[in-house]
Structure 1
Amino acid sequence: MIRFVLLALIILTARPAAAVSLEMNGVFTQGGIIMGRTDPGATLMLDGKPVRVGTDGVFVLGFGREAAPYAELVVRGPDGSEQRRTLEIARREYQIQRIDGLPQKYVEPPAEVLARIRRENAEIRKVREIDTDRAYFAEGFIWPAKGRISGVYGSQRVLNGEPKRPHYGIDVAAPAGTPVVAPAGGVVRLAEKDLYYTGGTIILDHGHGLSSAFLHMQDVSVKVGQELKRGERMGTVGSTGRSTGAHLDWRINWFDVRVDAAVLVPPME
């Protein structure tokens, strides 16, 4: 009897661990956003960096405009099982516009506002470091405003021969005063009416480091710390900051990785 118990124990101990589960949905491309689920209690690493996994196993990750063609994803289950995936990230072509002969004041901001720009950018970076555990993003996204698409992710201007920072949002041209709503639930982390570049600006935290920014708004009707539901009104379209016409510039970040908001929603009706 003792031998039988020992033999059963040895067989049980030697049994291989069940493979940890891993489901992913999204666009595996530069600017892409991936939402997935694994076993509760599992750990996830993307290119050696930890990725938050919710208590229900939900996670999100993203790839920047110039992401490398391959990324390594490692998931380890609570029982020690491990799964490795090499993710192939498709390359994208971006719109490049060259404009020469511009007065220099339109190429670089005046020196007297540089301190203000640095201060505002530091606050935005701080907000984008927030890593909350509630996965608002998992409910899905809707368009925050309706209108003509006038600018796309990844496009870039070369002014007087100098490449400027790429455009990381999607622009929705609409009349000033057009309502802007939360594309998904979240917590307001920044609500400013007059930033130098972006004018009326809101940053909405969707959880796990995924955040939306809404730029050039005419009215900002929410406050920092306010929790919003998908579809709840936040303000209106405007042309504040450095803007040449009424539109909403909607941007998505996964921490400091700038991803493409357009991959989260269907084509504009």
Structure 2
Amino acid sequence: MKRLLPLLSLFAICCSFNAAANITFDGLFEQGALVRAKVAPDTKVWLNNEPLMLTPDGELAFGFAREAALKQELKLKLADGSEQVIPLKIKSREYKIQRVNGIAKKIMKPDPKAVARSRQDSKQVKTARGQFTDNQAFMQDFIWPLTGRISGVYGSQRVYNGKPGTPHYGVDVAAKTGTVIVAPADGTVSLAVADMFYSGGTIIVDHGYGVSSSFLHLSKLYVAPGDFIAQGQPIGEVGATGRATGPHLDWRLNWYQMRLDPVSIVPSMASVLSGASKIGQ
């Protein structure tokens, strides 16, 4: 991991802190973000009194949900038995909300068969996201699995006849059907299903310590459960399968069951596209 920030410089911007705390961070303290961190080996860490899993080298990850509380707390217990408490001030985000009224009641009423199928799909997805593995790829510098026009953003939501729909928990990148996508980081395939009801062709890659990536609406899958995937390796093709209005990749980032914004761990799309254009000159 190349972007670790000293505690002093990060917390001077984000929150009040104990300057002696023995921890460094990679990430932003804001709603929807994934944060990676490193402490001295044999340190124990709690987030809001919940213990966090650490690698043998003292690396860890945690996230802040879409509507995360703006005040949270980290506690460290060092190898010598001393403890430090670090208050975290989480930055709030504003999300794009679209209100749609006048929809007929029969359209709003879900199909029982569709509901049953989607629930079965959800069970598979939750199982894949909920597992713990000791893969340390979560500490890599992630890359975009696909570059192009961003057509949908994390946290956006539609309100139908005054009833809020499920927020969008990914970032959408528009591309033609058949465009190849690659793994944003190393990992092991924990789920690969060609025809889920809502998400169509779906892949989940486990990066370790609760961090995983989901790829939705794929037209073709190149991988199977259990496959080890290297960063940059092709894993599938863009499609419009499931409940999609057009071909695109819906890339999602998870910390266990918490759904986070993939944009929080990659360079901006504009900078990536700009860099690619300069290389081609």
Query: TM-score, normalising length from structure 2?
Result: 0.86
1:230 aligns with 2:231: yes
Q: Does 95-104 or 68-77 show the bigger shift?
A: 95-104
Could you say what secondary structure the match of 1:206 adopts?
strand
Counterparts of residues 108-127 of structure 1 (less than 5 Å): 108-127=109-128
Could you say what secondary structure the match of 2:119 adopts?
helix
What is the aligned partner in structure 1 of residue 146 from structure 2?
145
Q: Which has the larger radius of gyration?
A: 1
What is the aligned partner in structure 2 of residue 90 from structure 1?
91
In the aligned structure 1, how far is the partner of 2:137 from the partner of 2:56?
14
Amino acid at match of 1:170: V
In the aligned structure 2, how far is the partner of 1:41 from the partner of 1:228?
30
Could you say what secondary structure the match of 2:208 adopts?
coil
What is the aligned partner in structure 2 of residue 30 from structure 1?
31
Describe the shift of the 1:225–1:106 C-alpha distance in structure 2 as closer, same or farther (beyond 3 A). Answer: farther
How many residues are matched? 251
Amino acid at match of 2:136: A
CA deviation string 1:233-262 (max 9, x = no partner): 001000000000000000011111111101
What is the aligned partner in structure 2 of residue 6 from structure 1?
none
Q: 1:125, CA displacement in angstroms? A: 0.9
Q: Does 227-236 or 105-114 show the bigger shift?
A: 105-114
CA deviation string 1:111-162 (max 9, x = no partner): 1222211111111111111111221011110000112100001000011221
What is the aligned partner in structure 2 of residue 65 from structure 1?
66
CA contact (8 A) 1:141 1:183 kept: yes
In the aligned structure 1, how far is the partner of 2:109 from the partner of 2:127?
24
Counterparts of residues 199-210 of structure 1 (less than 5 Å): 199-210=200-211
What is the aligned partner in structure 1 of residue 199 from structure 2?
198
What is the aligned partner in structure 1 of residue 213 from structure 2?
212
Q: 1:79, CA displacement in angstroms? A: 2.0
CA deviation string 1:73-128 (max 9, x = no partner): 01112221222100110000000001123344654531122221111111111111
In the aligned structure 2, how far is the partner of 1:208 from the partner of 1:109?
36
Amino acid at match of 1:136: A
Amino acid at match of 1:225: G
CA contact (8 A) 1:33 1:63 kept: yes
CA deviation string 1:13-39 (max 9, x = no partner): xxxxxx762111201000011111001
Q: 1:54, CA displacement in angstroms? A: 0.4
In the aligned structure 2, how far is the partner of 1:60 from the partner of 1:136?
11
In the aligned structure 1, how far is the partner of 2:219 from the partner of 2:135?
30
Aligned-pair identity (%): 47
Consecutive unaligned residues of structure 1, counting only runs of 5 or more, are 1-18
CA contact (8 A) 1:252 1:260 kept: yes
Q: CA RMSD in A?
A: 1.3
CA contact (8 A) 1:54 1:134 kept: no
